[in-house]
Amino acid sequence: MNHLMILAEEAGAATVVNEFEQTLLRILVVIIMFGLGAGLTPKDFGLALRRPWGLVIGWATQFLIMPLVTYLLIISVLLPFSTVEGILFVALGALIMGSVPAGTTSNLFTYFSKGNVALSVTMTVNSTLWAFIMTPAALFIYSNLLGLDESLSVPFSELALVIVGLIIPVGLGMILRRYSANVGAVIELIGSIVGLLFIPFLIIIWVPRNWQLLLTTEWPTYVIAIGMGVVGITVAYLIAKAIRLHPMNARTISLETGINNGPLAIAVVVAVYADNAGLDQILLVPALYSLFIVLISTAVTLVFRRANVAAEQKIPSLL
């Protein structure tokens, strides 16, 4: 039995995420994705396609920058300094967290950060749809670079099926919105609220049950879980500013890049690696990332809200 599982048992729990929590997370993810789709219409995609640079840049930062940032943190911090057995399981969990699409939480923080909410929502859906191809591709590339053995290999077909199953609710939500805008608006609101409830869920249920595990988790794991969001948001913002995007769009792209879909990552891990002896370690970074990204995003929002919105109105939008 590995070090992390021993710690979990000492804390009075057999696993990092038990069966009840796994079932609840699956339900939460479906509701979140359904609500995401219910907030969209074909017109939204038409507008995005007519002015596609926000989607293109967001796609690049989401699926090229974030996985790369995660990989660099793994090889520079996690692997050299961690002494825990089975650390590659933790690295795999980090790769999955860094390769999934943006989450609906980014839409909320974009709103509070005076960003472009319409662009944020469209980017979230766009990255979710592209995840069918790009998430398995990124995991394949970086898992090979890390030299993960067969027990840690990422089954492309199984992973793709899981993501497709989570994309279907988005399409159903759009269909519902098409036939009943009022019902669609209610479902969108419910999905947003459920997305917010995921963090209190972690704080109220998961954190106390795994408190001993959190206290004994080595610092490199925390650096990975926190650094992914901080570096992702910062790098994406600097890229957006360097190519002179409108400040509102720069804020939006940075948040969309750094705020990945934590519930989705956990759902993917549970679905693909439920029978793997290293499930606990694989789940560790996604769980910690989901916990800290809200704190990070709140701090970033406080900085972004100091923007001079009146002055920004004089800046032409390049998206």
pLDDT per residue over 245-293, tens digit each? 889 889 999 999 999 988 888 888 888 887 777 888 898 999 899 889 9
Burial 165-193 (b: 16+ CB within 10 A, else e): ebbebbebbbebbeeeeeebeebbeebbe
- Taking every pair of C-alpha atoms in the chain, what is the biggest distance, in angstroms? 62
- Which is more confident, 195 or 116? 116
Mean pLDDT of the chain: 80
- Give residue-wise pLDDT tens across range 154-208: 666 667 777 777 678 877 887 877 777 777 777 777 776 776 676 677 677 777 8
Residues pairing with 260 in the sheet: 102
Q: Is residue 5 part of a domain?
A: no
Q: Is residue 74 part of a domain?
A: yes
12 pLDDT band (50/70/90 cuts)? very low
pLDDT(302) > 80: yes
Q: The tokens of 75 are what?
A: 């090889």
Q: Is residue 9 part of a domain?
A: no
Q: The tokens of 122 are what?
A: 């469209």
Q: CA-CA distance, 86 to 196, in Å (whole number)?
A: 32
> Range of 207's domain?
18-301
Q: Is residue 183 part of a domain?
A: yes
> What is the percentage of the chain residues whose pLDDT exceeds 70?
80
The number of folded domains in the chain is 1
CA-nearest of 1, 17, 9 to 274 is: 17
Number of Cβ within 10 Å of residue 313's Cβ equals 9
Output the domain CATH number for residue 96. 1.20.1530.20
Q: Is residue 4 part of a domain?
A: no
Q: Is residue 103 part of a domain?
A: yes
Three-state secondary-structure class, residue 260: strand
Q: Is residue 13 part of a domain?
A: no
Prediction pTM value:
0.81
Q: The tokens of 312 are what?
A: 């920004």
